[in-house]
Structure formats: C-alpha cells, structure tokens
Structure 1
Amino acid sequence: MNPLMRALVSLFSPRLNMREDYPKVRRFQRRLAARPVSRYRVFDRQVLSEDGTHRIPVRVFQPKEQRRDEVLLFFHGGGWVTGDIESYTPACAAMADLTGCVVASVDYRLAPEHPFPAGLDDCVRVARVLLDDPQRAGIARADQIVLVGDSAGGNLAAVVSLQLRAMGHPGATRQVLLYPVTHWDHDPETSPFPSVRAHGEDYRLTNTEVQDYLELYVPDPVERRSPLVAPLMAEDLTGQPDTLMITAEFDLLRDEAEAYASALKAAGNTVRVHRVPGALHGFIALPRFSRALRDAYEVVNDFLDQDPPARASSAGGAESAA
C-alpha cells in the first residue's frame, strides 16, 4: 500500500477503545446498515437454544436469482462484541446475490454481556439443528449446508466444526473462512506472526483492538489459549470440512489464518487458500463493485461449484430439532 493510501486509511479509521466504545460502535453499525425494506428478500426465523432459555434469531436471505442449492450458514464478524443480523444485512444480501445461494445469518449472543462460550453455544446449536434437519433450511441434504464466517465469525465457524467433530457429529462438509481469528496473541512483541507487526497499527483493525475484543469475549486469560477460542491451538485437526481460506493482504490476521489453513492441510484435510491482493480486514462489507469483494466471490463461487465430499455418519445419531 502506497504512503498516500496508508495515510488516508489511517485518517478515516479512528482508533477506538473497544472496552469503552463498543456500544457506540454497535449503534453506528446499525445506522450505517439501515436498509429500504423492499430492497432485500428476507425472512426472520428463530431456533430454540439447547437449554431452552432463549431463542436464537436467524435471518434468511433469498437471492434475486437462485443458482445453487446450497445454504450458506453465516456467522458474522465484529470481534464477538459488535455486529448483528441488522448491521450485516447488506453484506448478507450481497452474499446471497453474488453466490446465488440462500444465506442464513445467525444472531448469536454478544460479549461482554454474554461472554464465552455463549455466542459459540448459539452457533453450534443452530448448526446442529439445520444439519440434523436440513428441510428446516429448505434443502434435501445436510451436505448442502456450508459454514461461512468472517473475522470473529470465521473463528466461530472453525470452532463449530471442531466442536461438532468432538461431539461425534458428522458436521458440515465444507466451510468458507474469511480472514478468521485463529490465535490468542496479537501483541507485536510476542506474536509469532509477522503480519501482526506489519499491519497491526496503520489499518482499520489494530492489534490493540483485537486484544480488547478477546479480553471482552474471554475474560479468563488462560481460556484464551483453548482451541475453542484459538483453533490454531488444537492438537487434532483431522476430520474437518473441506475449507476455503480467504485472507486479506494488509490484515494483521493474515498470517494466523493462513497458518490455520496449513495446519488443516497437514492434518489431511482438503484446503484452498486465497489471499486477496490489496485488501484490508473486513472487505466482505464493502460495496459490490469493489475489486476485493469481486475477487473473493470469484473464488467462493468456484469453491461452491466443486462437488461436496461425502458426509460421514454420526457417531451419536441425529438430534431432533426444537
């Protein structure tokens, strides 16, 4: 990135104290995503939580032209602290139209009001319900469900896959991880990843903000090293879905995401990695004409065009949907 562009990005990306400013960020995101009601074809649904104490909202987006049978089960970004189905509605509507797939966006609980593992539990619950009863998603087969997530949502998608395997559940056969968080340390002095040092200060997401998000999501520093928070720490990555890993060139999370892809591949999984040149963190929310977005969706569509792998049988049997 040339010096002028770097200066402009820094100018229009004010630094935040996420510990204090997250409520303001939430309000700003919702105002920014305000939508004409008639523009999107959406249906709001709910899934009962595992313990029956609350309902998990799911917003379903119909593409203008449905070209594929897959349903993309989407977990939004926002550091586990910001973002929701309202603020991600434009991005999900674009995802539906640009892939020709139905998109189901999960409104999982956010920290710090609901710290780890509340949001993860919601995501696992929705994934299990739809995988066990795909007709609820309007499809015939569970292998037509693809897990997708960006940033913290990419982290959740990866961890949902790990959790399902640990439960003896066959899980999804494919996942698309967009610049996910996979490690617990984003301090430039101690991180093992060069991108944290190269891109953690000048761009729209800083290492300080990532650390603040993690501390709000997981108050216990010991728990942050758990594979359920930092999937790169998992000792066993076998049996994971076919994975498309998409990273951004100027993103501090780039190297840890690509390291996770390498670890998945080393464990015998099918993995494809695509680094979007010139892109910053969070580009999935850019306007549809943006070069980074078009680049990413060309790769996503090619990945979706591949035949899904065979789905393993469940060790524990199917769970009834509620």
Structure 2
Amino acid sequence: MSADAPGEGRPNPLLAAFLRLFAAPRLNMQEDYPKVRRFQRLLAGPTGRYQVLDKVILARDESHEIPVRVQLPRQRLHSDVLLFMHGGGWVTGDIESYTPACAALADATGRVVLSVDYRLAPENPFPAGFEDCLRVAEVLLREPGLLDLTDASQIVLIGDSAGGNLTAAVSLRLRELGLPMPARQILLYPATWYDHDPATSPFDSVREYGTGLRLTALEVQQYMQLYQPSAEARRQPLIAPLLADDLSDQPATLVVSAEFDLLRDEGEAYGHALEAAGNAVRIERVNGTYHGFLTLPRFANPVVRLHEVINDWLGAAAPQVAGRE
C-alpha cells in the first residue's frame, strides 16, 4: 500500500466541525433521501456546459431503459473508456449530480467517461441497481465496437463508494457467468462489508471515523437497509464482496481509500483479499481527506491527487489514440 504523505492521525478540527453539519443525526436517510437527492442535483448546477451525450441501453428483460451519459474530455488522449458507477449509498446520486465529477475525471485522464444511471433504492431495492450496472457492462464488454473500441480490455470499470461496491460486484458476477471481463477496475473508497455497527464491525475505521464526519456509520446502516431490507440477505458477495469464496481471475484493481473514512479499512481489506487470490492490485490511501472526495471541486488537492493516482496506475500500457500523443 502506498500513500501520498504521512497521515495526520486525526481530522482537522475545523473541517471536522464543518462536516458535522452534514452528518447524522441531522439526517435520517430512511426519511430524508428525497431531500438529499434534490440537494445533490442543486449542488451540481446546470450540466449544459459539459460535453455530454445521453444514450440508453435496454434492460435484459426489456422492462425499462438504462440511461448512460457519455462524458467527453476536452482533449481525448487515450482510446480506453471509463465505465463509471456513481456513489450515494445505492439510494441517492444520479448522472446529473455526478456530471461535474465525471467531467473532471474525463478531462484529467483524457478518456471518455460513461456514467450509468442505475435504478435507486428504496423504490428499486437490490438487485435492481446491480442488475442495471451488470447489464450495461455486459453489453459494452460483449460489443466494444459500440464505443468504437476493438477490444473489451479497453473498458475500465470504476465506481465510488456504493458505486465501488457495484463495480466489484459486477466484476464478480461477470466472471461467474463466464462473460467478457474488463482488464482493469478502479474502486474508490468502496463499501465491501455488510456490518457497519461500531459495536460489531471487524474494522477499526468504523469505530474511529463512524461519527461526526462526512459519512457516519448510522447513515451507512440506513443506506444498506434501504438497499436490501433483509439483514440476512445482505450477507452475500454481491452486497458484501469480501464474503466471496473465490476472488480469483478478477481485473487488475486499483483501490483508493480516504484516511478519515469509516469505509477505509474494508476497502483496503478487499484489495488485500484480491491480491491474496492472485490478482494484480494497487492500494492507495489519500491522507488527510474524507469519504466522497471525488465530488469535491476539481482543483481541490484530494481530487488532483486522485487524478494523478488514476493516471499513473492506468499508465503507459493504456491503449493510445493514434496521432493524439
């Protein structure tokens, strides 16, 4: 595991106090998620200033269309594509609220970013959102020509928080079904475990950073209850990837964690478990920052650092667009 600088050991007290304004108990996610959705869209602002193309992919059972937003970089430098699954606890977030973050990611990496607008809980609990993400990944990996790609390996799966969870689950399911696999996946501070009660969680970061910061243990528990109401049903690899019996033959994986994040330890533990199963893994902890930092303004230091890490990891081996380098 690498890190950009030695950890501070504890959050900045002024910033921590500010973040408490957005933490439980001010919010009860089981009641307030519609308000959070509206606030996120308002915070994102108008998306007309970004270079986007909106497409749809038909669900497997043809019951609905799955919106996919194609985010174009200011200058495309690489031919591979990032297939992005947004965070928000499987309950909030969408392609509108994540357009600024995806635009920044596209510009910083010189790659096209495709954002999946999967169905949200509690209106559509598990496995609805997961099935939407799996369907989009399956279609594009089977037919990379739809993206003007020559090979499925040019599609990189990426997600943050709940989207990191969905990314990991999609890769597990693709392998189980014998479907085409991406060569790489990027998991940004992912949820990988089913229990976030500080009294029973096996992870110290839940106890250290589970109250008073950007994301609380109570909020995660509420999100998971909305996503899958059955506590017993949450004990499965497609919700808690760390429970998977077989983690072999997974894509090369970049795990990025945040120092002051209750999900930090479980995300890093998943990276170590993938590595133990024989996969190529890099674990990068961004010190001095908090859960959800991908959605900070693109000039914020943690976001700049994240983009540097992603570019470095994708590296010179990434397919290049002829004549653009």
Give the TM-score range, shorter chain: over 0.9
Of the three residues 268, 279, 287, the one matched with 1:258 is 268
The aligned counterpart of 2:89 is: 79
The aligned counterpart of 1:32 is: 43
**Distance (whole Å) between structure 1 residues aligned to residue 180 and residue 277 of structure 2:** 17
Please list, as runs of the form range in 1=range in 2, the aligned pairs for 1:1-322 lying within 5 A after superposition: 1-11=11-21, 13=23, 15-35=26-46, 37=48, 39-307=49-317
Residue deviations 1:264-300, cap 9 Å, x none?
A: 0000000000000111100000111111011111110
Whether the 8 Å CA contact 1:143–1:172 is kept in 2: the answer is yes
**Distance (whole Å) between structure 2 residues aligned to residue 9 and residue 60 of structure 1:** 32
Whether the 8 Å CA contact 1:143–1:308 is kept in 2: the answer is no
TM-score with structure 1 setting the length: 0.93
The aligned counterpart of 1:312 is: none
Residue deviations 1:132-182, cap 9 Å, x none?
A: 101112222111100000000000000000000000113111000000000
**Distance (whole Å) between structure 2 residues aligned to residue 160 and residue 193 of structure 1:** 24
Residue type of the alignment partner of 1:160: V
Change (3 A) 1:2 1:253: same
Percent identity of paired positions between Structure 1 and Structure 2: 61
**How far is the alpha carbon of 1:36 from its aligned partner?**
5.0
The aligned counterpart of 2:7 is: none
**Distance (whole Å) between structure 1 residues aligned to residue 47 and residue 302 of structure 2:** 25
Residue deviations 1:57-111, cap 9 Å, x none?
A: 0000110011111100000000000000011111111111011000000000000
Q: Which runs of 5 or more residues in structure 2 are unaligned? A: 1-10, 320-325
Indicate the SS of the match to 1:146.
strand
Change (3 A) 1:123 1:198: same
**Distance (whole Å) between structure 2 residues aligned to residue 157 and residue 169 of structure 1:** 15
Indicate the SS of the match to 2:289.
strand
Indicate the SS of the match to 1:74.
strand
TM-score with structure 2 setting the length: 0.93
Q: Which runs of 5 or more residues in structure 1 are unaligned? A: 310-322
Question: Displaced runs of 4+ in structure 1, greater than 6 A?
Answer: none
Indicate the SS of the match to 2:45.
coil
Q: CA RMSD in A?
A: 1.3
**Distance (whole Å) between structure 2 residues aligned to residue 185 and residue 306 of structure 1:** 39
The aligned counterpart of 2:3 is: none
Change (3 A) 1:12 1:54: closer
**How far is the alpha carbon of 1:8 from its aligned partner?**
2.5
**How far is the alpha carbon of 1:7 from its aligned partner?**
1.9
**How far is the alpha carbon of 1:3 from its aligned partner?**
2.6
Change (3 A) 1:49 1:36: closer
Residue type of the alignment partner of 2:12: N
Residue type of the alignment partner of 2:32: D
Indicate the SS of the match to 1:302.
helix
**Distance (whole Å) between structure 2 residues aligned to residue 12 and residue 110 of structure 1:** 21
Whether the 8 Å CA contact 2:153–2:182 is kept in 1: the answer is yes
Residue type of the alignment partner of 1:27: R
Change (3 A) 1:306 1:255: farther
Change (3 A) 1:82 1:228: same
**How far is the alpha carbon of 1:5 from its aligned partner?**
2.8
Residue type of the alignment partner of 2:225: E
**Distance (whole Å) between structure 1 residues aligned to residue 17 and residue 289 of structure 2:** 15
**Distance (whole Å) between structure 1 residues aligned to residue 288 and residue 237 of structure 2:** 30
Residue type of the alignment partner of 1:32: L
Residue type of the alignment partner of 2:120: L
Whether the 8 Å CA contact 1:75–1:150 is kept in 2: the answer is yes
Structure number with the bigger relative contact order (C-alpha 8 A, sep ≥ 6) is 2
Indicate the SS of the match to 2:234.
helix
**Distance (whole Å) between structure 1 residues aligned to residue 302 and residue 239 of structure 2:** 28
**Distance (whole Å) between structure 2 residues aligned to residue 48 and residue 36 of structure 1:** 24
Whether the 8 Å CA contact 2:293–2:302 is kept in 1: the answer is yes
**How many residues were matched structurally?**
308
